[in-house]
Structure 1
Amino acid sequence: MANAVLESDLDLEALNKTLSNMDAPELVTWGAETFGDRLVMSTSFGIQSAVMLHLVTQVTPNIPVIWVDTGYLPAETYRFADELTQQLGLNLKVYQSPISPARMEALHGRLWDQDNVEALNRYDYIRKVEPMQRALKELGAEAWLAGLRANQTSHRQSLGRIAQQNDIYKLHPILSWHSRDVYQYLTTHNLPYHPLFDEGYVTVGDWHSSRPMTSTDGDERDTRFKGLKQECGLHLPQTQGEAESLNSSAL
């Protein structure tokens, strides 16, 4: 087991120069050797989640896999999650908001249906951000493997292979991958796409905030959050700048 890594131990600028030359499995291996049992990963059980789940567990099979279940996921997602958990033997850690969907709707209404970013941000904090923050704390995480790709959002284009979000290091093994890389990995390892991919979804989250992609969409993220924003907040620092990042899909 690796010793705890202090924030002052890592020079992110220098490390990014070194880690940029590593392929995805090498970066996961570096993370496992550096952070030991303080390394976790997250999954949404989204369209291409099988890639990261397989890639990471080939290196560190028992890594805690955090899944934030909002209570509003499509039935297909719940079945897909069960399938992959069994297939890959995942050490799954499911976290949910302490506020039930019914209670949230009674107190705040259908936040996703109010057509404003402030309501969507409140929804995302209650159902996603708070449970993730709690998961990282309870699991004693020092580093977090995430399957972000640079071509997904403008914010993600600014990331390095290693970054820092609050006091947690973030490792991005497939940051430079494109759709063809994802497809090749899935087919090489005989892994499944999310079943909604066959219905035209290129990204999927909650049932009420996801839809299939159409010919009029300029970007795959237009199919999420009614096109009002790109990020749900899980992968943004919880700072004053977060609101600005959440509020515009142009950022």
Structure 2
Amino acid sequence: MQSAFISDQGKVRRLNEDAGGVYLHPHGHLLAVVADGMGGHKAGDVASLMAVEKIQELWMDSPAILKPRDAENWLQSSIENINRDLHLFAHTNKDCEGMGTTIVAAICTEEFVTIGNVGDSRGYIVSQANKIRQVTEDHSFVNALVQSGEITKRDAEHHPRKNLLLKSLGSSGLVNPSISTITIDEGNIIILCSDGLSNKIDEVKIADTITQALPLKERASIMVDIANQNGGEDNITIAAVEYVVSKESEETR
């Protein structure tokens, strides 16, 4: 596995309220995470950074992840713990009242990937054949309309309430993250991103760009450049993990 992380302020926002990273566990697994803070002057950047720092801390202290159920349980409990911490912090720090953040996190092992999310930061899997699939579920008002059949996915792209979230970290009570596990093949690439990317580049372009014959960090940087060329109104953050094809596999093809 190889990984890359990049976060860009974009062309319009005065602050970068996104955070994230890719973290290597002592047992060799990777945790990739992206968080998109909200609240503007109410400390969206504080919320996203707190979420990322907390999940990194929990990750480095966690036991080895051996089975999908282990990964799913760990993400469930960790995301709920982070939600409680953020809610308490905002409640006791008036300057941060109302702050929140999305989160998307992926546990990447040699055999499987488990992804959990709250909000509209997304996780994709891209195959060597340039096939892309969104693995996460957007917890947004417009996605609920799409799922109910009231509007189409194309309608959702330009809906006036596109940015309205139904879930975010920092809420009272449980957030019930969406969690799923997928099997992995050599050459697959996992992409986590904030909506500053997914709102500005369609899935076909994401797949075409991330599968270019370039270093992974350079491919991620090209996607950031495209998002900025397409307006760059929001912060843009990408975490990517590539399951590199071994020389033995290439030789047998």
Q: Do these two structures clear the TM 0.5 threshold for a shared fold by scoring above it?
A: no
Give the TM-score normalised by the residue count of structure 1: 0.33
Which of the two has greater strand per residue?
A: 2
Per the normalisation by structure 2, the TM-score is 0.33
Relative contact order, CA 8 A, sep 6+: which one is greater?
Answer: 2
Determine which structure has the larger helix proportion and give its number.
1
